[in-house]
């Protein structure tokens, strides 16, 4: 009898305690965080109409001491191999978010992951796991308008990104290929309204896990929305990229880039885009400034829910030779590129199939010999000043 009484009393106590806790719980109590997992994988086949003997889309870059032209140019970012099926990138992205914070772990694997994270290629013990880290950062939001982000994050510069499902075209522009990919540091963003926001930050440098000198880079972005569907980003970075001289910074050395990115959703089915950038670099005081830059224009039209078609025109100028784009003599050059891409969206939006044609046209070299041209023919000779490729890409996102 006593046992039943004690059990009844205990149950009643627990009930009234729970009721009291519920009554004392603030209505504004922080809700539990939300966890999301997403990613993608892609594979592709490229056919090159030059039929290069090396099966490379990269082109030539100078000669070695024996006078033999070497493969290793910078004509393409990720779609480097021709005449074979290739794996692009595998992404696994985890995000944990609350109303005041967010943590992002963005891991990538595969050939394109290595190419996009080349600055992390060598670890302190010779190898590295850092190549798998595309992004790893957290964001704190003290107010609805202000946020702080720290860690490794993708660059704010440019129209195109590493993630294949986000880009309309599968092959990447030269502006992407020669611009920064990622930064490590701290940035703050303040949204004055839903139409105006300003970001500013401090980073180690450009595309490197570890800084090569004591100086730090500054980054900024101004976001504007002049009207609904029209987004404008003005991006800037300035950083000292010169290697330290006996532990001291190289005086007068700098890397500066100004970038304009804008897109306008004219109608529900038609999108226009523009990316224009100019960069300047100097290796030290009293040394010559070297410049590069370019412009890319985009137009996409959705004919149905399944099929759309897009075009890209780009001109990129690296005649100073400061960036990676070079001709068969190892000199700086310029290129005009035309890209047309179809996009089939299947499997409830998860599967993207992209047939793509691209033409890269470089200036002819007046050297008296065709061996100094940019691209290789089927005999292994560098007789071509341009290349045309046909690509079929398959992208699955989840």
Confidence of residue 331 (pLDDT cuts 50, 70, 90): confident
For residues 56-81, give the mean pLDDT.
75
Question: Would you state the pLDDT for residue 63?
Answer: 55
For residues 33-38, give the mean pLDDT.
95
Confidence of residue 11 (pLDDT cuts 50, 70, 90): very low
pLDDT at 277 over 90: yes
* Angle, CA of 317, 319 and 324, to the nearest 5°: 80
Confidence of residue 46 (pLDDT cuts 50, 70, 90): very high
Question: Would you state the pLDDT for residue 72?
Answer: 63
Question: Would you state the pLDDT for residue 325?
Answer: 86
Bigger pLDDT: 232 vs 125: 232
Confidence of residue 4 (pLDDT cuts 50, 70, 90): very low
Q: Percent of the chain scored above 70 by pLDDT? A: 86
The answer regarding whether domain 31-397 maps to CATH 3.20.20.70 reads no
For the ranges 16-25, 172-181, 194-203, 354-363, the lowest mean pLDDT is seen at: 16-25
* Cβ atoms within 10 Å of 295's Cβ, excluding its own: 16
Bigger pLDDT: 243 vs 344: 344
Average pLDDT, the chain: 86
For residues 317-337, give the mean pLDDT.
87
Q: Percent of the chain scored above 90 by pLDDT? A: 61
Question: Would you state the pLDDT for residue 10?
Answer: 35
For residues 233-244, give the mean pLDDT.
87
Confidence of residue 282 (pLDDT cuts 50, 70, 90): confident
Of the candidates 84, 91, 75, 103, which has an alpha carbon nearest to the alpha carbon of residue 42? 91
For residues 38-64, give the mean pLDDT.
88
111 burial type by CB count under 10 A (0-12 exposed, 13-18 middle, 19+ buried): middle
Question: Would you state the pLDDT for residue 332?
Answer: 86
Bigger pLDDT: 146 vs 6: 146
Question: Would you state the pLDDT for residue 159?
Answer: 97
Which pLDDT tens digit goes with each residue over 156-197? Answer: 999 999 999 999 999 999 999 988 999 999 999 999 999 999
For the ranges 8-22, 108-122, 155-169, the lowest mean pLDDT is seen at: 8-22
For the ranges 243-247, 260-264, 347-351, 385-389, the lowest mean pLDDT is seen at: 243-247
Confidence of residue 119 (pLDDT cuts 50, 70, 90): confident
The reported pTM is 0.85
Going by their DSSP bridges, the two strands 270-282 and 290-302 should be labelled as antiparallel
pLDDT at 125 over 80: no
HSE-CB of 131 using CA atoms within 13 angstroms: 18
Using the Cα atoms of residue 139, residue 142, residue 148 and residue 151 in order, give the sign of their dihedral: negative
Confidence of residue 69 (pLDDT cuts 50, 70, 90): low
Confidence of residue 322 (pLDDT cuts 50, 70, 90): confident
Confidence of residue 224 (pLDDT cuts 50, 70, 90): very high
For residues 309-315, give the mean pLDDT.
98
């Amino acid at each position: 009898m006593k046992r039943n009484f004690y059990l009844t009393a205990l149950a009643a106590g627990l009930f009234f305690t729970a009721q009291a806790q519920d009554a004392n719980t603030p209505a504004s109590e922080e809700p539990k965080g939300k966890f999301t997992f997403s990613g993608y994988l892609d594979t592709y086949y490229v056919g090159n109409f030059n039929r290069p003997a090396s099966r490379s889309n990269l082109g030539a870059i100078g000669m070695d001491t024996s006078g033999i032209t070497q493969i290793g140019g910078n004509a393409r970012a990720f779609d480097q191999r021709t005449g074979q099926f290739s794996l692009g990138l595998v992404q696994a992205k985890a995000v944990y978010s609350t109303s005041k914070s967010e943590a992002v772990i963005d891991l990538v694997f595969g050939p394109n992951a290595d190419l996009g994270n080349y600055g992390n290629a060598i670890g302190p013990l010779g190898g590295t796991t850092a190549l798998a880290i595309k992004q790893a950062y957290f964001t704190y939001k003290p107010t609805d308008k202000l946020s702080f982000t720290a860690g490794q994050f993708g660059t704010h510069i440019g129209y195109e990104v590493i993630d294949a499902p986000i880009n309309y075209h599968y092959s990447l522009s030269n502006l992407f290929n020669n611009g920064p990919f990622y930064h490590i540091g701290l940035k703050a963003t303040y949204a004055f309204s839903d139409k105006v926001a300003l970001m500013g930050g401090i980073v180690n440098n450009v595309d490197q896990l570890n800084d090569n000198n004591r100086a730090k880079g500054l980054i900024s972005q101004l976001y504007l929305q002049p009207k609904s569907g029209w987004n404008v980003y003005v991006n800037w970075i300035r950083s000292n990229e010169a290697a330290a001289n006996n532990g001291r910074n190289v005086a007068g050395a700098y890397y500066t880039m100004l970038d304009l990115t804008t897109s306008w959703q004219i109608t529900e089915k038609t999108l226009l885009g523009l990316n224009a950038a100019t960069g300047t670099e100097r290796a030290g005081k009293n040394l010559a400034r070297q410049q590069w830059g370019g412009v890319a224009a985009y137009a996409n039209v959705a004919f149905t829910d399944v099929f759309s078609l897009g075009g890209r025109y780009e001109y990129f100028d690296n005649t100073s030779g400061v960036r990676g784009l070079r001709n068969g003599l190892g000199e700086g050059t310029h290129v005009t590129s035309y890209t047309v891409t179809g996009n089939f969206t299947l499997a409830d939006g998860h599967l993207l199939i992209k047939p793509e044609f691209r033409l890269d046209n470089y200036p002819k070299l007046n050297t008296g010999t065709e061996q100094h041209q940019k691209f290789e023919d089927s005999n292994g000779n560098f007789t071509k000043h341009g290349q045309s490729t046909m690509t079929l890409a398959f992208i699955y996102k989840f």
